[in-house]
Structure 1
């Protein structure tokens, strides 16, 4: 499954602070429909992500009935992304092999 969307970068200040982009409703619904086939535990879903020219592997996290994409600091530095920026995200989610 390949999905493309744009979203605002936000910061979570919890015990492990991190930056995220929320997957919009329609795309989150598509992920929800296949999540049981692709999750590897407690709802996280492995994904390949591209933001700008940077590609990376991460896991989508369930949040508030949808999903969020973690944006690594190295990706933010490489792409010049700041808190509050809107970024274009391309996700690739593969089913079990």
Structure 2
């Protein structure tokens, strides 16, 4: 019985530790956009970027694996290959959460 309990606890801890990075974070995407890409996108705010599409459109773009291409199309001054694979889910969550039809407004620091 002790070994089952240890195995269960070990599995739970491992799941919590390793699953956290898999969850995208819109706030992390917002910060990444503001710090790394806003200037090269020639956009005064992150909202201007996110509101270029609806949530359904962002979802379709991301689902088709075209988020990076769309990002580079909207921000032609950002060199291709600049966005890391780790940034993509966070930038997507930012774009999706503040899309034109979301009703959400990014914070003032955008």
Superposition TM-score, scaled by structure 1 size: 0.29
Q: Which has the larger radius of gyration?
A: 2
Superposition TM-score, scaled by structure 2 size: 0.26
Higher share in helix? 2
